[in-house]
Amino acid sequence: MAILLIGLNHKSAPVEVREKVSLSRPQIEKLSKKIRQVQSFSGCTILSTCNRTEYYVNADSPFAAQEALIDLICGYSGIKPRELAPYLYIKFNKHAVEHLFSVAAGLDSMILGESQIQGQVQDAYEYALNYGISDNILNTLFMNALTVGKRVRTETQIDRHTLSISIAAVEIAKDYYGGLTDKTILVLGAGETSELTSRYLISNGAQSIMVANRTFERAEWLAGEIGGRAVNFTELAQYLPDADLIISSTASPVPIIDKEVLLQAQSNREKPLLMIDIAVPRDFHPNVAELPYVKLFDIDDMSRKTDENLVARQQETAKAQAIVNEELEDFYFWLDSLWVVPTIVKMREQIAKIKESEIERAIHRIDNPSDREIRIIEQLANSIVNRWLHQPIINMKSLAGKRADKIDCYINAINDLWGLNDDDKKSN
């Protein structure tokens, strides 16, 4: 049993690679059918956001699982293994668990301490449950990760000194134009990210916001929430000439706007157009930047945004890391204890056979034993067995948590001394 993590994120891979590997919920559901067929996987949970795609796998054979998982990623992304390899990070066991806990805490985010990741970890957990690809080990792992995230945001102020991707996008727009009061803004998408972006636009002085979404009712709802105007997604071309700023965060698998779309909509445009793409896959084709009036920012540019609260957040990082370390130790104490469970079961089964045999022998030595005498013999045998097993079992569980590095040696020694593997050999 081993926990394997294979992933890539904003630090290891550029957006053009991340967008090919990124998975939406319907795509995760579709991929789950293939995951369930991988024999080397005991369980799998996928965490896919705009900044990362990570696979957490519980496997008896981690190296076989690693090979199968890379084949799976390359299969749906269309990237060859040798091309993908430089962007991947691969972690095992404690390193994998520590990474997930750090992610949930916001310590591995593009913007330190951002809070959206908590909900994304929750979604990953629920998707895995709903699609039947997780197992008890990974379920417990992700529940503990959610606990880490909650504790960090409750016991530290790391999220009170942070900027989300949405806020970073608005800050870039403010810096570029020197203010947003007189700017006409087009928001593409009406999901959570677009909602956060729109609300922050309003709080920073924006007064004219158009919202376009493939589902018009959702666009109407968001526009109503912010005092904006819903526009038809299929008629974007007529609204592009008026826009000073376009911020996009949709779930489109292909670019929504490219150079040709802009040229057709506004062939004689001269006034500047700021385009901020916070979607993965990207909503704006990179070739829009070839137009002289366009200034394009994508999600990777968010990482280069000056963070005014960086010092304050870093002061909280040590507190958050202490929580991660504490929860990591607790989780691994539990996980390591699972290693001894099969041995404990075998010990109990072996002792039970001996006990039943000896009870039967004792009863046969008594002429016409009464029911009371039989109960006394059985109670005595059970008491002796339970008392004798009690302390060894406690010690085994304690050793599993305190001496995880030696637990394999301890378990093997116990199995050899007790002959616990002999029954397995006979059954085979």
State CA 76 to chain mean position distance: 19
DSSP string across 364-379: HTSSS--HHHHHHHHH
d(CA 18, CA 73) in angstroms, rounded, equals 12
E strand or H helix that includes residue 315: helix 310-364
**CB-CB contact of 4 with 62 (8 Å):** yes
Give the pLDDT confidence score for residue 305 in this predicted structure.
60
Per the listing, tokens 């390193």 go with 95
Give the pLDDT confidence score for residue 428 in this predicted structure.
47
**CB-CB contact of 286 with 266 (8 Å):** no
Instruction: Output helix, strand, coil percentages for the chain, rounded to the nearest 5.
Output: 60, 15, 25
Active site residue 74: no
Query: Residue ranges of the chain with pLDDT lower than 50?
Result: 306, 425-428
Q: Radius of gyration (Cα) for the chain, nearest Å?
A: 29
Give the pLDDT confidence score for residue 142 in this predicted structure.
96
pLDDT digits (tens, 9 = 90+) for 147-175: 999 999 999 988 765 567 888 899 899 99
What tokens does 336 get? 């390591």
d(CA 33, CA 137) in angstroms, rounded, equals 20
Per the listing, tokens 């949970």 go with 45
**CB-CB contact of 415 with 349 (8 Å):** no
d(CA 242, CA 49) in angstroms, rounded, equals 31
Cα torsion angle, 390, 394, 397, 403, sign: negative
d(CA 225, CA 247) in angstroms, rounded, equals 17
Question: Residue 56: left if φ>0, alpha if ψ -120 to 50, beta else—which one?
Answer: beta
Give the pLDDT confidence score for residue 427 in this predicted structure.
47
CB neighbourhood size of 362 (10 A) = 16
Give the pLDDT confidence score for residue 291 in this predicted structure.
96
How are strands ordered across the β-sheet holding 43-48?
43-48, 52-59, 2-9, 89-92
Give the pLDDT confidence score for residue 61 in this predicted structure.
86
Give the pLDDT confidence score for residue 163 in this predicted structure.
61
Architecture of 2-162 per CATH?
A: 2-Layer Sandwich (3.30)
Question: Among the options 44, 50, 74, 409, which is catalytic?
Answer: 50
Give the pLDDT confidence score for residue 311 in this predicted structure.
66
**CB-CB contact of 56 with 45 (8 Å):** yes
Give the pLDDT confidence score for residue 152 in this predicted structure.
93
For domain 165-302, the CATH superfamily is NAD(P)-binding Rossmann-like Domain (3.40.50.720)
Q: What is the residue extent of each domain of the chain?
A: 2-162, 165-302, 332-427
